[in-house]
């Protein structure tokens, strides 16, 4: 099973709402990632969890709050977002280390977020 | 900041033709990967080439790497309409992967 599952697929929220994005994988990967992708742009790294600990935060505003409850799950809590935060949010997972052939990230299909 | 830059930014070809995309990067790498993204979907890993390799093949894909020029190319041979997607190069380490700007490939039937 090489699947990364993201829910919901689409989300519309107002600037005062609180919502969460969810990501799940069962490949035994101990690294999980959140990316933000605007239209016609490459994915931009937001957060990295390694062994369930936050290891990289790419200076993301605090209105985005990641959480890794266990090795299979990754959440992104959203609060007081701005319209410019509208984007495709991608989750990915990978091995933390190992043979080079395993340095591959597996991506979910993403959550299309619209902030009104 | 983006590690790699692809060119062209957009490429439109007829089915059956070959498509070549290029990627340049700025820092030393251990290996380089290419990913594909269908419109509005997640990325899918295509191929990984190590820094000590010059060329690698996988099906209709051929990747080259020139570490002296800090550049890589992806060739898709005998393209199909289903190859229509965006293609990104990516540099490691895996925990801090950086994607290039991407090439949007359109293959017309």
- Tell me, yes or no, if B24 comes closer than 8 A to chain A by beta carbon: no
- Cβ distance A56 to B92 less than 8 Å, yes or no, reads no
Share of chain A above pLDDT 70, in %: 94
Q: Choose the closest CB to A42 out of B45, B48, B100.
A: B100
* Structure tokens that stand for A5 in this block: 């599952």
pLDDT the model gives residue B2 = 39
What are the backbone dihedrals phi and psi of residue B20, each rounded to the nearest 5 degrees, phi first?
A: -120, 130
pLDDT the model gives residue A96 = 81
pLDDT the model gives residue B6 = 74
- Tell me, yes or no, if A92 comes closer than 8 A to chain B by beta carbon: yes
In the numeric block, the tokens 């959480």 are attached to: A67
**pLDDT tens per residue across span A52-65:** 999 989 899 999 99
- Give the burial class of B87: count Cβ atoms within 10 A of its Cβ; 0-12 exposed, 13-18 middle, 19 or more buried: buried
Instruction: Pick the residue from chain A with its C-alpha nearest to B85.
Output: A40
Residues of chain B with pLDDT under 50: 1-2
Q: CB of A108 within 8 A of CB of A23? A: yes
Instruction: Pick the residue from chain B with its C-alpha nearest to A97.
Output: B94
* Structure tokens that stand for B4 in this block: 């790699």
CA angle B98, B100, B103 (to 5 degrees): 150
Q: Which of B33, B32, B56 is nearest to B43 (CA)?
A: B33
Using a CB-CB cut-off of 8 Å, the residues of chain A touching B99 are 42-43
Identify the helix (H) or strand (E) that includes residue A69.
Answer: strand A64-70
A111: closest CA of chain B, how far (Å):
9
Residue A36 has pLDDT above 50, yes or no: yes
pLDDT the model gives residue A1 = 64
Give the number of C-alpha atoms closer than 13 A to the C-alpha of residue B77, restricted to the C-beta side.
7
In the numeric block, the tokens 């090489």 are attached to: A2
Residue A101 has pLDDT above 70, yes or no: no
Q: CB of B90 within 8 A of CB of B72? A: no
Q: Which of B37, B49, B42 is nearest to B85 (CA)?
A: B37
SS3 string, B18-38, reads CEEEEEEECCCCCEEEEEEEC
Q: Choose the closest CB to A48 out of B31, B95, B101.
A: B95
B80: closest CA of chain A, how far (Å):
22
Q: Which of B50, B95, B41 is nearest to A57 (CA)?
A: B95
**pLDDT tens per residue across span A84-99:** 999 999 999 998 876 5
**pLDDT tens per residue across span A70-79:** 999 999 999 9
**pLDDT tens per residue across span B27-39:** 888 889 999 999 8
* Structure tokens that stand for A9 in this block: 């697929």
Which residues touch A31 (CB under 8 Å, ≥6 apart)? A48, A49, A50, A93, A94, A95, A96, B94, B95
């Amino acid at each position: 099973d090489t699947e990364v599952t993201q829910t919901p697929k689409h989300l519309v929220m107002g600037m005062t709402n609180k919502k969460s994005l969810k990501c799940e994988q069962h490949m035994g990967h101990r690294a999980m990632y959140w990316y933000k992708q605007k239209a016609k742009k490459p994915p931009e790294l937001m957060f990295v969890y390694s062994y369930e600990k936050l290891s990289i935060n790419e200076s993301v505003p605090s209105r985005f709050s990641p959480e890794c409850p266990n090795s299979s799950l990754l959440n992104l809590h959203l609060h007081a977002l701005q319209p410019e935060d509208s984007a495709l949010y991608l989750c990915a997972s990978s091995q933390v280390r190992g043979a080079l052939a395993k340095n591959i990230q597996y991506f979910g299909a993403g959550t299309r977020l619209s902030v009104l | 900041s983006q590690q790699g830059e692809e060119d062209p930014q957009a490429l439109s070809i007829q089915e059956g033709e070959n498509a070549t995309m290029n990627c340049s990067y700025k820092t030393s790498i251990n290996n380089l990967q290419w990913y594909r993204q269908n419109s509005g979907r997640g990325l899918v890993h295509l191929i990984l080439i190590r820094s000590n390799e010059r060329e690698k093949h996988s099906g209709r894909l051929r990747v080259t790497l020139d570490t002296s020029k800090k550049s890589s190319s992806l060739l898709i041979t005998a393209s199909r309409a289903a190859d229509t997607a965006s293609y990104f190069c990516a540099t490691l380490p895996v925990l801090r992967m950086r994607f290039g700007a991407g090439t949007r490939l359109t293959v017309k039937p």
